[in-house]
Amino acid sequence: MPRSHPLSVRTAVAAALALQVAAAPSTPPAAPARAGPAARTVELTLTAAPARLALRDGGDTTDVWAYDGRVPGPTLDLREGDRVVVHFRNRLPEASTIHWHGLTLPFVADGSPFHPVPPGGSHDYVFTVPRGTAGTYWYHPHPDHRTGAQVARGLYGAIVVRAPDDPLPASLPEHVLVLSDNRFRPGGAIDIADPASPAGRVDAENGREGDVVFVSGRVMPALAIRSGEVQRWRIVNASAARVYRLALEGHRLLHVGSDGGLFARGVERGELTLGVGERAEVLVRGTGAPGTRALLRALPYDRYIPQTRPADWATPRDLLALRYDDGPPVAPPALPEVLRPVAPLDTGRVAARRVMVLTQHLINGKHMDMARVDVRARLGTTEIWEVENLVGMDHPFHLHGFRFQVLDRNGVPEPFPSWKDVVNVPKHETARFVVRFDGFAGKWMYHCHILDHEDHGMMGVLEVRP
């Protein structure tokens, strides 16, 4: 596939973003140890508005809600240290927000249900991307009770944060793969079930899944690769509920990073499971022969309770085709052994240990109440949260405002520290993570990232005070 496709971030972003990089940086952020490029201000406008698009090649047109008329919205290509100013214009018929999933930013910039932007209204999101947070993130609306409905209509997009000292060769071709799914009525309309209908009940239970799976807005796109080449893929699970158990035919994946960026070392994987809201960075090594093809597929993954497990849950899904061109193999580039060391958070001095019990639509037996604070903490302190999933369905647990490190899953220690903001807790399992409240005071949501669960109140409020 030609590099000018939207999947190829470097070329697409400048054109797509109406991105203005201010010539003179305003306030430079804290002096970086190894100064990269000068700090800059990235200023852009994102408009959420109804649009009519052909989402499937040759298919019907569909009424969508889109950021800047595109599904997914434009990929934001940022650098550590950037000061970011997003002028959000809400041209939707209802309140919305933009939540910058995974980024560390002030409470008013979080785009949580606490700061809705009314229809016709505007809001400026202003934040600085902290040093050390290079990684793959995403953005989507997060209004009270309506996140699922708005994302289903097309509102989501990827964010890439780059480090000045990225250890991977800049020459690796890079692709941002935003995974999403949807379902359509005959004629092309997005099929959002009446909540009272049987299908609506199943959606409420499972989270809404669609039978059409998109990779960066396209069904079964092709990516080109040269034999011997190594590509860097940043994969975002932007689906409301679908978990992707990814496997690339005939290839092993070198898993080099998760939500908050690179690991200390890559990990060889035959397959990689990406829970809802999670991201992964992988290196795809072009070990195939010229002229051949390999499919990236989502293998069956049983995250369901028996009552609502879909009949076709065990059907694998094809996501994209990796096509080797006919050119002669190139010598694989040298890859560094050590990527980005991640220092483990100190679990020695822990201010609190908390248990979060997940059941269907509930955290600690409660539905979300915006007027209630469920957890109080102090800025700068460290806590350990134990997330216990008591029921027979996976629940991806997401914390706003602060990244964390998973300590263990079901008692099995995590092999190495990495930065996460979502941890998928499989049915009947427990995950523990350590979090240090380095960032900003405010009220931060924690919730199940199955959007239907979140909208049904599987969410709580953490208040962090100075």
Partner 1 sequence: MARPHHLAAAAAVAGLASAAAAPTLGAQARPAAAVAGGGRAPSEAQLLRGRALVLNHGCGDCHGGSPDPASEGFLAGYRPDAVPSLEFRIGPCADRPDAQPCFRTRPRNLTPDNATGTGRFTERQLFNALRYGLRPGETPDVEITGTTPGQGNFPAHPKYLAPPMPWPAFRHMADQELRDIAAYLKHAVAPVRNRVPDSEGPPDFWASAYTVALIGPYPAAPFPTAREQRPTLARAVRGTGDRSAPPPRR
Q: Which residues bind partner 1 (CB under 8 A)?
A: 198, 201-202, 204-205, 305-308, 357, 359-362, 365-367, 388, 390-392, 428, 430
Rounded least distance, CB 363 to partner 1, Å: 10
- Which is nearer to partner 1, 39 or 458 (by Cβ)? 458
Q: For the sheet containing 244-248, what is the strand order?
A: 222-225, 317-324, 293-299, 244-248, 272-274
How far apart CA 297 and CA 248 sit, in angstroms, is 6
Per the CB < 8 A criterion, the answer to whether 273 and 394 are in contact is no
How far apart CA 56 and CA 135 sit, in angstroms, is 29
Rounded least distance, CB 357 to partner 1, Å: 5
**Main-chain dihedrals φ then ψ at residue 184, nearest 5 degrees:** -130, 150
Residue 462 one-letter amino acid = L
How far apart CA 13 and CA 200 sit, in angstroms, is 37
Rounded least distance, CB 298 to partner 1, Å: 23
- Which is nearer to partner 1, 310 or 336 (by Cβ)? 310
Per the CB < 8 A criterion, the answer to whether 46 and 73 are in contact is yes
- Which is nearer to partner 1, 311 or 343 (by Cβ)? 311
Rounded least distance, CB 424 to partner 1, Å: 18
Per the CB < 8 A criterion, the answer to whether 384 and 350 are in contact is yes
Question: CB neighbours of 350 closer than 8 A, spacing ≥ 6?
Answer: 382, 383, 384, 434
Rounded least distance, CB 426 to partner 1, Å: 13
How far apart CA 361 and CA 93 sit, in angstroms, is 27
- Which is nearer to partner 1, 267 or 357 (by Cβ)? 357
* Number of CB atoms found within 10 A of residue 53's CB: 16
Per the CB < 8 A criterion, the answer to whether 175 and 283 are in contact is no
- Which is nearer to partner 1, 428 or 465 (by Cβ)? 428
How far apart CA 398 and CA 387 sit, in angstroms, is 11
Rounded least distance, CB 303 to partner 1, Å: 13
- Which is nearer to partner 1, 8 or 389 (by Cβ)? 389
Rounded least distance, CB 398 to partner 1, Å: 21
- Which is nearer to partner 1, 293 or 353 (by Cβ)? 353
DSSP secondary-structure letter at 70?
Answer: B
Provide the greatest CA pair distance for the chain. 63
Q: Residue holding tokens 């910039």?
A: 109
Rounded least distance, CB 389 to partner 1, Å: 10
CA dihedral 189, 195, 196, 198 (to 10 degrees): 70
- Which is nearer to partner 1, 176 or 423 (by Cβ)? 423
Give the strand pairing for 459-465 and 382-389. Answer: unpaired
Rounded least distance, CB 369 to partner 1, Å: 11
- Which is nearer to partner 1, 160 or 368 (by Cβ)? 368
